[in-house]
Amino acid sequence: MPIVPANMQTIINDSIAEFLAENGYFYIMHRFDGAARIPFVKKMKERQLISSISVGVKKEEYLFVEELAKQGLVPDYITIDIAHGHSNSVIEMIQCIKARLPETFVIAGNVGTPEAVRELENAGADATKVGIGPGKVCITKIKTGFGTGGWQLAALRWCAKAARKPIIADGGIRTHGDIAKSIRFGATMVMIGSLFAGHEESSGETKIENGVAYKEYFGSASEFQKGEKKNVEGKKIWIQYKGSLKDTLIEMHQDLQSSISYAGGRDLEAIRKVDYVIVKNSIFNGDTI
């Protein structure tokens, strides 16, 4: 299934990563516990499961890549995870990883323009992640005026037309139907945050309010993640408890199967070929179950 939980601290953890890998799903471990990454890669290698981690672009991350190479640890996937991926710092990190760990599949992001996609691909990225601030706990567009919030599908379509390699659509997924829409507009895979938040397996605090259980969900650029009120572009919300992650994955799979059926086909290619219309100011916009 072409979905991946967001590499955020309240979305992915070791046990969820292992569960996903064991069941044939892709995952990307977050980068917010740097010291845990090498033991995590070793554990996944020992279990013969895919190892997929994230890095930033600070000096210590270069030392981390050097240490991986020194130990002969080659993660299957490394995602360069920063808010503004169209930058020299990301290009330099791509080149560093490709020089030290040439067999590792490098995902770079996040970006929102075709120029960025082309430049990161030319630098050696094997896939790019598209989406700047469209997520439910992202406030980048409000704080800075920049981002793909409000026009994520258009940005995705724009970037996919320029791409020669896979595109991961990241953010703005509010319903299961949005997964099919993202695939239609060029996504190879769809990264999802809020729909994967609030599960029994999810990290983060739980609170009970008026007899109802909630779990915290916060953005990677929030003060709760950063530990300080500096350059904050994210927020924290409470998501009503959803039960088992396994049940949500089953429902997503069934809904995507139905999307393929409505597209008149038997696989994802059918979705990529359907016609579409853009509806403005419809009374059905924002429908929820």
At 141-187, the pLDDT tens digits run 778 888 898 889 999 999 999 999 999 999 999 999 999 999 999 99
159 carries an active-site annotation: no
Q: Return per-residue pLDDT of the chain as tens, 289 residues.
A: 999 999 999 999 999 999 999 999 999 999 999 999 999 999 999 999 999 999 999 999 999 999 999 999 999 999 999 999 999 999 999 999 999 999 999 999 999 999 999 999 999 999 999 999 888 888 887 788 888 988 899 999 999 999 999 999 999 999 999 999 999 999 999 999 999 999 999 988 899 999 999 999 987 554 445 455 555 566 888 999 999 999 999 999 999 999 999 999 999 999 999 999 887 765 555 555 5
Alpha-carbon gap, residue 253 to 247, rounded angstroms: 10
The reply, when asked if residue 282 is annotated as ligand binding, is no
Q: Which of 114, 125, 115, 112 is nearest to 55 (CA)?
A: 125
pLDDT 10s digits, 209-235: 999 999 999 875 544 454 555 555 668
The reply, when asked if residue 175 is annotated as ligand binding, is yes
- Please pick, among 116, 138, 155, 252, the residue that the annotation labels catalytic: 138
Q: What is the pTM of this model?
A: 0.90
Residue type, 81: D
The reply, when asked if residue 59 is annotated as ligand binding, is no
The reply, when asked if residue 176 is annotated as ligand binding, is yes
Note the pLDDT of residue 150: 83
The reply, when asked if residue 177 is annotated as ligand binding, is yes
Task: Name all domains of the chain by residue range, CATH numbers in brackets.
Answer: 3-273 (3.20.20.70)
The reply, when asked if residue 173 is annotated as ligand binding, is yes
| Beta-sheet pairing, 189-192 with 105-111 | unpaired
The reply, when asked if residue 170 is annotated as ligand binding, is yes
Alpha-carbon gap, residue 200 to 108, rounded angstroms: 30
The reply, when asked if residue 147 is annotated as ligand binding, is no
The reply, when asked if residue 169 is annotated as ligand binding, is yes
